[in-house]
Amino acid sequence: MNKRFFVLYACCIPVKGFTRSLVCDVQRGSFKLIPNELEQILTKQHPCDVEAIKAHHAAGDHETLDEYFEFLTTHEYGFWTDHPERFPALDLTYQTASSITNAIIDVDQDSHHDYELIFDQLEFLGCKDLQIRCYAEVATKELEQMLRKLASRRIKSVELLLKYSNLYVEQYYQLPLQFGRLVSLVLHTSPKNRVIQSAQEGHCQIIELQQAISDETHCGQISPLYFSLNLPTFIEAKNHNSCLNRKISIDKAGNIKNCPSMTKSFGHVHEQSLLDIVQKEDFKKLWNISKDEVEICQDCEFRYICTDCRGYTKKGSGSSYGKPQKCTYDPYKGEWE
């Protein structure tokens, strides 16, 4: 006897767009495009009593409806059951004990950061993920001294963006072997584009890029290459800003900002405490601008899996709510430019 209800796995979540929708699998980190009609069925009539749904559609639509549910079953997005009440939806409430979850430190040839001071404060704030972006050549010895200061701290992952150097490149490749918290090492201004080591099986990702990244203005790129699909990032994007939530940044001159690309500074890191800055409502106000509030993005099917940028926006009713300037996707056409 066939079971009556079709139920999506809790980890498979529909997201509606203007012209089309997605099913996001936050467990397997994948998604599939679906018609908006199917998204409406999965959100408005879930758990899906297919016979009851067919009763509200013309007979000519029944084959299409069968194809919808065959597609979902084939791709393991759901299952059939007589007891849908036994399978509750995921709780998508965002929770963290950290005042700050992630941080950026920008470095150039004129930077004079006190890393001990900065790392102490990030530790107190509960920061877990750190990105250090170096626009000028840095000696390996300096990098090693910096990274050793993290040894006794709870920051769990470090991403390094370094300028390619013929003198130091082979030593750069050895850094992940010395510092296990390195999860990404990207060398910009390289002779060619290549992947030295992929981020598989717990390895540090090592990439060389020909692109010259000379300052923070290269930030804010929006592309499918930067899509991130897992449960924590999905929940955060649904509830908060996917770039700025609980982020603090130190620009190359030592100014404390939401993001190095932003003009507003909340003081210099040698003069102001990060602990005091993160208590300011003015500093936190951008944290809660989710993609559901951003012009155009609110109609985009990718809004919970793509990054955001409040530093460079297209002007609309207000720059804080404008579409990211470097995004080339048009959700009203369903096309990338």
pLDDT (tens digit, 0 to 9) for every residue of the chain, 337 residues total?
478 999 999 999 999 999 999 999 999 999 999 999 999 999 999 999 999 999 999 999 999 999 999 999 999 999 999 999 999 999 999 999 999 999 999 999 999 999 999 999 999 999 999 999 999 999 999 999 999 999 999 999 999 999 999 999 999 999 999 999 999 999 999 999 999 988 776 789 999 999 999 999 999 989 898 899 999 999 999 999 999 999 999 999 999 999 999 999 999 999 999 999 999 999 999 999 999 999 999 999 999 999 999 999 987 544 789 999 999 999 999 999 8
Residue type, 110: D
Q: Please name every residue paired with 257 in a beta bridge, in sequence order, or none if there are none.
A: 249
CA distance linking residue 80 with residue 108, whole number of Å: 58
* Alpha carbon of residue 157 to chain centroid: 15
DSSP string, 245-262: TTEEEE-TTSBEESSTTS
Provide the pLDDT for residue 320.
85
CA distance linking residue 127 with residue 158, whole number of Å: 11
CA distance linking residue 140 with residue 156, whole number of Å: 21
Residue type, 79: F
CA distance linking residue 103 with residue 155, whole number of Å: 10
Provide the pLDDT for residue 317.
46
Q: Distance from first CA to last CA of the chain, Å, rounded?
A: 49
> Residue 124, SS3?
helix
What is the C-alpha radius of gyration for the chain, rounded to an integer number of angstroms?
A: 23
Task: Find out whether the peptide bond into 47 is cis, omega within 30 degrees of 0.
Answer: yes
* Alpha carbon of residue 311 to chain centroid: 15
Token pair for 135: 């626009």
Answer positive or negative: Cα dihedral of 131, 132, 133, 139: negative
Provide the pLDDT for residue 316.
52
User: 304 with 297: CB under 8 angstroms?
Assistant: no
User: 98 with 241: CB under 8 angstroms?
Assistant: no
Cα-based torsion angle of the residue sequence 276, 282, 288, 293 in order, rounded to the nearest 10 degrees:
-170
Mean pLDDT of the chain: 95
> Residue 269, SS3?
coil
Provide the pLDDT for residue 202.
73
Angle at CA of residue 119, ends 113 and 123, nearest 5°: 160
Q: Please name every residue paired with 185 in a beta bridge, in sequence order, or none if there are none.
A: 160, 206
| DSSP classification of residue 22 | E
Provide the pLDDT for residue 256.
99
Provide the pLDDT for residue 29.
95
Provide the pLDDT for residue 272.
97
| DSSP classification of residue 221 | -
